[in-house]
Amino acid sequence: MTGEGNAPLKTITIVGGGTAGWMAAALLSRLLLGYRIRLIESDEIGTIGVGEATIPAIRTYNQLAGIDEFEMVRATQGTFKLGIEFVNWQAPGASYIHGFGKIGQDLYWLHCHQFWLKARAAGRARHLDHYALNTLMARMNRFAMPDPSHPHSPIAGIDYAYHFDASLYARYLRGRAERQGVERIEGRIVGANRRGEDGHLDHVVLADGRTVDGDLFIDCSGMRGLLIGEAMGVGYEDWDRWLLCDRAIAVPCERAPALTPYTRSIAHGAGWQWRIPLQHRTGNGHVYASRHISDDEAAAVLMGNLDGRPLADPRPVRFRPGKRHRAWEKNVVALGLAGGFLEPLESTRIHMIQTGILRLISLFPGRAFDPADVAEYNRQTDFEYRDVRDFIVAHYKVTDREDTPFWSYCKTMDIPDSLTERLELFRASARFFMRGKAELFREESWVQVLLGQGLPARYDPVVDMIPDADAAAFLKDVEEVTADVAASLPTHDAFIARHCKAPAPVV
C-alpha cells in the first residue's frame, strides 16, 4: 500500500550538538541517504568536556559510522579501557574490577566462577581478578587487541572500549558529519511552535528571529529537554529513592605517569569519584548526594584526591536520576540527557545515545508517524533504562558499608522487585539468566559486580559432581594461563605509543 502515510520524510532537524547531537548526525548522515539533516547548536552554550568512558558496544557504532579507531583515539586524546576498578564499594579498602570479556573458561556447562566460589570457601582461591584476562591485564597495565587466530587462547576473547575527551569526540564527529552533508546552524533556540491540527512540532525559533522547521526533530538539548519536555510536555519519572546522587563536580588534572587501561570508581562517604586516564590529562569528577554532603565539602573531597595538579576550576553539574515518560512524542525523539539521566557509574551514557539512534533507524517513520512504531520505540527505551537502572542500583544495595548515613540508607533501602528477584536467585546458587536480548549487561558483568560487592552466594550444587582434585586443577590452569598471557602483552603506554599516540595539545 502506498500513499501519504508511507511517504518518506525529507528533513531531520537535530537540536543540540555535543556528544548526542553529533553522534546522531554522523551516523544518520551515513546510513540514511537522501535526507536533509540539520543540526542547531550555539557557541554561547558551553560544554563541560570531561573525560568520557565507554563500553565495548561503541565499537559497533564506529563500524557503522565508518570510523577508524586509531584515528579516533588520536583525535580525542583517547586511551583504551578493559573495565572499571571499584574501590571502597564493598568496604573501605576493598577493590575489584568489572572487566569486559569472559571469566576464565567453562568446564562442561559450568562457569568458572562456580568453581572459584567453592575454592574460595575452602581458602584455596585468589581474588577473582586473577581468573579473567581483561581484569588481570588491567591490574598489570597491559593492553592488546583480541587475536581470533588463537581461538583456544584467552587472547581471542579480549574485549575493550575507550576513554576520550568528550568535547574532542564531538568535534571529531562534527567534522565527519559535515563532510557527509550535515548542515550546522549556529543559533540559540528561544521558542518552539507546534501545529494546531495534530500537535506535531512545526519549527523552532532562534534568538535572532530565524525559524527552522523539520519533519522529524531529535532533541539533544541535554537535561533541559527543550523539545521533549518544554515544547511537547512529556513528564519525568524520578528514581531518586534508589539513586541518591544528584550532583557532580568535574575537573581535569595532570595525567599520571602510567596510563591505566581502565576507569577507576572510588566510593566516598556520600557518593563516588571517577578517574578517567587520557593521553594529555586525567578526567576526574565527584558524583554525590546533596542531601548528605555540601557542595564545598564535595569539592574538597575531589580536589584532595587527584593524580596531579588541577588544570581548570571545578565545574558543577546538577541532575535528576530518572527518565522521561516517553522518549518519542509525535515527531520529537529525545536522545541522551534529554531523555533521562543515569549516573555514569558503568559508563552507559554514550551507549544509550547509540542504542537510541539505532532504535530510531530500525523504526524510522514515514510522514504518518505510525503510533505502533512510536509505541515500540518507547517500550524498548523504557526497558533499557530500567535494566541499566537495576544494575547501577545493585552497586549501592549490595555492600557491607554502613559507616555513613548515605551508605546505611543504600544498604537497607527497598529496591525494585526486578532487582530483588535477581539477587535472590544469585544468592541461591550464583546463577544468572538473561531476560532478553535487549539486556545490556551480560552474565559476566553481573557476576563480577555482585561477587565484588560482597553478595553472599552459594555455588551451583552440580559443581560437587566434579572431583575436588579435577576442579582444583581446572582452576589452577585457568589462573596460570591467564597470568602467562597477560605477562606476554605490551604495556598500555607502549601500545598507544606504537599505534595511536595523539599529537601534543595546542596550549
Known catalytic residues are 81
In angstroms, rounded to a whole number, what is the distance separating the alpha carbons of residues 118 and 460?
Answer: 9
Instruction: Of 146, 134, 60, 8, give the one whose Cα is nearest residue 350.
Output: 60
Copy the grid coordinates of residue 473.
586443577
Q: How far is CA 36 from CA 8, 9, 214, 336, 358, in A?
A: 12, 9, 9, 22, 18
Q: Would you state the torsion angle of the CA atoms of residues 428, 430, 434, 435, taken in this order, to the nearest 10 degrees?
A: 20
Instruction: Kindly give, in sequence order, each residue whose CB lies less than 8 Å from that of residue 155, ignoring residues fewer than 6 positions away.
Output: 133, 144, 146, 147, 485, 489
DSSP three-state, residue 362:
helix
In angstroms, rounded to a whole number, what is the distance separating the alpha carbons of residues 161 and 102?
Answer: 15
In angstroms, rounded to a whole number, what is the distance separating the alpha carbons of residues 201 and 228?
Answer: 10
Q: Tell me if 285 sits within 8 A of 273, measured CB to CB.
A: yes
Q: What is the 3-state secondary structure (H, E, C) of 255-315?
A: CCCCCCCCEEEEEECCEEEEEEECCCCEEEEEEECCCCCCHHHHHHHHHCCCCCCECCCCE
Copy the grid coordinates of residue 432.
544468572
- Biggest distance spanned by C-alpha atoms of the chain: 79
14 forms bridges with which residues in the sheet?
39, 218
Q: Tell me if 120 sits within 8 A of 479, measured CB to CB.
A: no
Instruction: Kindly give, in sequence order, each residue whose CB lies less than 8 Å from that of residue 388, ignoring residues fewer than 6 positions away.
Output: 342, 346, 348, 352, 440, 441
Q: Would you state the torsion angle of the CA atoms of residues 11, 15, 18, 23, taken in this order, to the nearest 10 degrees?
A: -30
In angstroms, rounded to a whole number, what is the distance separating the alpha carbons of residues 310 and 293?
Answer: 22
In angstroms, rounded to a whole number, what is the distance separating the alpha carbons of residues 351 and 53?
Answer: 10
Copy the grid coordinates of residue 37.
539533516
For strands 189-194 and 201-206, give the pairing. Answer: antiparallel
DSSP three-state, residue 369:
coil
Q: On the CB side of 436, how many CA atoms lie within 13 Å of its CA?
A: 6
Copy the grid coordinates of residue 365.
517513520
Instruction: Quote the distance between the C-alpha of residue 240 and its chain's center.
Output: 19
